[in-house]
Every structure is written in C-alpha cells, then in structure tokens.
Amino acid sequence: MANLPPLSLYIHIPWCVQKCPYCDFNSHALKGDVPHDEYVAHLLRDLDNDAPMAQGREIKTIFIGGGTPSLLSGEAMQNLLDGVRARLPLAADAEITMEANPGTVEADRFVSYQRAGVNRISIGVQSFSEPKLKRLGRIHDAGEAQRAARLASGLGLRSFNLDLMHGLPDQSLEEALDDLRQAIELNPPHLSWYQLTIEPNTLFGSRPPTLPDDDALWDIFEQGDKLLNAAGYQQYETSAYARPGYQCQHNLNYWRFGDYLGIGCGAHGKITFPDGRILRTAKTRHPRGYMAGKYLDHQHDVEQADKPFEFFMNRFRLLEAAPRHEFKRYTGLDESAIRVQLDEAIAKGYVLETEECWQITGHGKLFLNSLLELFLAE
C-alpha cells in the first residue's frame, strides 16, 4: 500500500436549471424538484460498492462537480459528506471543493455547505458581460457573479476559484481582458481561465457561432497571461492560475496520475492495485438508470502498452517537473520501457532530463500533441 498513488474522490451531481449550448458534460436539465435525499442515498450505496478499492488509503481531496452541485440543499450536502466520512478515512487537511453556479447561490446555503465540510468553492462565472452570458445560455448576470464571489471571499474558506472563459463568440481582445480584470478585482486565490471549444453533441456543435480566429486567440492568451502574472497569479496547468500555495490539490492529483474513486451519474474513476494493475471505471450516465440502482456502466484494465501515454498525457498538462521515480511508482513499469521515446523527446527539445526529473520545455508545450504521440502504443 505504501507505494500506491494518493487517492481522491469525485462526486457528480447531474442536474442543471437548463443546459448551456457549449456544454458536453454529463448534465441534465431539471424537470421538477431535485431528488435530494434519494440521490444522496444512491451516491452512498455507490460508494459502499467502491470503498474496498480505497485499500485503506486516506481520501486527500473531494471534488463535487456537475451539473450544478449548488442545487443540492445544505442538509443533503451534510448527509452526503457525513456518509463519505463514515465510509472512508478522510485526511485531516482534506481539500473539499464544490462547484457552484452564481444563479443558484444563496447566502445561507453557502454557509450550510461550509458547515457540512466544504472548504473550497468553484464559481462558474464564465464572463462578466451580459450579452456574452446570454449567448452562452447562462442563467446568472454579472451582478450575481460578483455577489457570489464576495460571498465566498467573506466566508473564510480555505480557497475559492472563479471559472472564466475566453475566445467567446465575437469576443474582442479588450472584452476578454475586461473579463479578466473584473475577475482579478474580486481577488480569488485561484482562477481557471480556459478557451471555449466547440464540442460535438452540443447546441453550438450543431449551430457553431463565430469565434475569434487563431491570431486573435493567441493575442488574448498572451495579453491575459501577462495580466494574470502581473496580478500575482502563476500558471501551473494548461488552463489554471493560482496565487502561490493555492493550486487546486484535487486537479493536481489528476494530472500527477494519482488515483480517484468516482461516484454519481457518469463519474469516472482510476484505481491502482499493488500488483501494478490500473482499473478505470465509469458509472451510468443517465439519472434514471443510476437511480434504478445500476451504478457501474463499465470498467476496464489499462493495457501495459497504454500506461506510458496515459501517464505523460496527464503529467505534461502541468508546468511543474515530473519526478522520474513516480513513473515506476504510478505505472508499475521500468523506465527502460520508455527510454527510446524519452531520448527522442529530449533530442527534439520537447523535454529536459535531470537525475531527478523530466521537465517539459516551452517548445514541448507548443508541440504537446507531437510529444505525446511518441508515447502512443504501436
């Protein structure tokens, strides 16, 4: 057990007030009331099935995502987290994050979430521009977003995050930077700042809006990155910035190829066993099937040949160096299995190697797909 990766828990709440046109997450527009108690009971039964896979490890982080977790009542959140604590050992300093939509946030509810154990809130702002919010199908306005951020700030939580998008339909450089300035003014310890991409099976996928071209997107990223750095934020992952000491520990565990149990509709899990086996699990996506008691949709063992690609696909999302000893610890493979590919990556200037670690270069970041292709199984 000493050699197994750290363990996290992901919990999925599948409902939203309405489905956004860009969203390809497993979310379902709410018809009627949220079945708070019934869904929490199913989540905890799902966890009962998965708990043995923790193999005695502490849960280091919990992330409650969606959908819109802030549709859950404070009482349901309390029952959920009490149920988790009764089933699994939780680290004393565990980071417990919950996603919230500004349009579904009420002051008293934030306080009850905190009382239940939530110590980090991630607020889906996306933009402070009213026309852009309407275009994105968001149910909140700029005022509600600012109010939610001030509320989170005033609670004395461990941290809070603002989610912000750029490259929005017909967005100018100045509009994108104005969104960032307004976010920075609210002083969040963490900012997720990511580019809108059009995904298949979404409303935008079937009727694509006009997005800024590649040159405009590069300008937005370059100028926005400068703005964030000047305000004291450091980029530590492809689309995440934080003040020193405020990186999202849950996401760091994902990208470092750590383990996680996933419960709830459509939740994914990854579990390593002492013999080096890595199991990936996926839960039933639709609430109807899930709440009929069919929790597990499918699971599979990661093939030995696929482990290097999966390890580096996650690891190279982070700007930090990757300790070399973790490759064997997290994949069960010897470094000799990837020596040829590594030498090629180093020769092409994608990666720097020291005795202790591998560091992706700026060049490697620009050619990330080419770098990762080196590790694809034949």
Within-domain flag for 1: no
At 167, is the secondary structure helix, strand, or coil? Answer: coil
Within-domain flag for 272: no
Q: Answer yes or no: do 244 and 358 share one domain.
A: no
Within-domain flag for 282: no
Give every residue of the chain whose pLDDT is below 50, as ranges: 1
| Kind plus residue range of the DSSP H or E element containing 46 | helix 36-50
Q: What's the pLDDT at 132?
A: 87
Nearest to 5 by CA among 280, 255, 259: 259
Within-domain flag for 147: yes
Q: Answer yes or no: do 31 and 134 share one domain.
A: yes
pLDDT in tens, 297-341: 999 999 999 999 999 999 999 999 999 999 999 999 999 999 999
Long-range contacts for 145-149 (Cβ within 8 Å, ≥24 apart)?
Answer: 145/102, 146/182, 146/186, 147/102, 147/105, 148/100, 148/102, 148/105, 148/123, 149/123, 149/125, 149/186, 149/188
Residue owning tokens 């996506």: 285
Task: Indicate the residue among 219, 253, 287 that finishes a domain.
Answer: 253
Q: Answer yes or no: do 225 and 352 share one domain.
A: no
CATH number, residue 94: 3.20.20.70
Within-domain flag for 259: no
pLDDT in tens, 128-142: 999 888 887 788 888
356: domain range? 322-378
- Which residues make Cβ contacts (< 8 Å) with residue 144, sequence separation at least 6? 102, 103, 105
Q: What's the pLDDT at 27?
A: 74
Within-domain flag for 103: yes
Q: Answer yes or no: do 67 and 213 share one domain.
A: yes
pLDDT in tens, 33-83: 889 999 999 999 999 999 999 999 999 999 999 988 989 999 999 999 999
Within-domain flag for 292: no
> Rounded to the nearest 5 degrees, what angle is found at the Cα of 249, between the Cα atoms of 245 and 252?
105
Task: Indicate the residue among 236, 253, 270 that finishes a domain.
Answer: 253
d(CA 235, CA 348): 24
Q: Answer yes or no: do 216 and 326 share one domain.
A: no
Q: What's the pLDDT at 308?
A: 96
Phi, psi angles (nearest 5°) of residue 6 = -60, 155
Partners of residue 269 on adjacent β-strands: 281
d(CA 29, CA 37): 19
Q: What's the pLDDT at 199?
A: 74
Task: Indicate the residue among 215, 237, 253 that finishes a domain.
Answer: 253
Within-domain flag for 258: no
Q: Answer yes or no: do 50 and 163 share one domain.
A: yes
Give me the number of domains the chain comprises.
Answer: 2
Q: Answer yes or no: do 241 and 102 share one domain.
A: yes
Q: What's the pLDDT at 139?
A: 80
Q: What's the pLDDT at 23?
A: 64
Q: Answer yes or no: do 159 and 241 share one domain.
A: yes
Percent of the chain that is helix, strand, coil (3-state, to 5):
40, 25, 35
Q: Answer yes or no: do 359 and 237 share one domain.
A: no
Q: Answer yes or no: do 32 and 174 share one domain.
A: yes
Q: Answer yes or no: do 80 and 229 share one domain.
A: yes
Q: Answer yes or no: do 92 and 208 share one domain.
A: yes
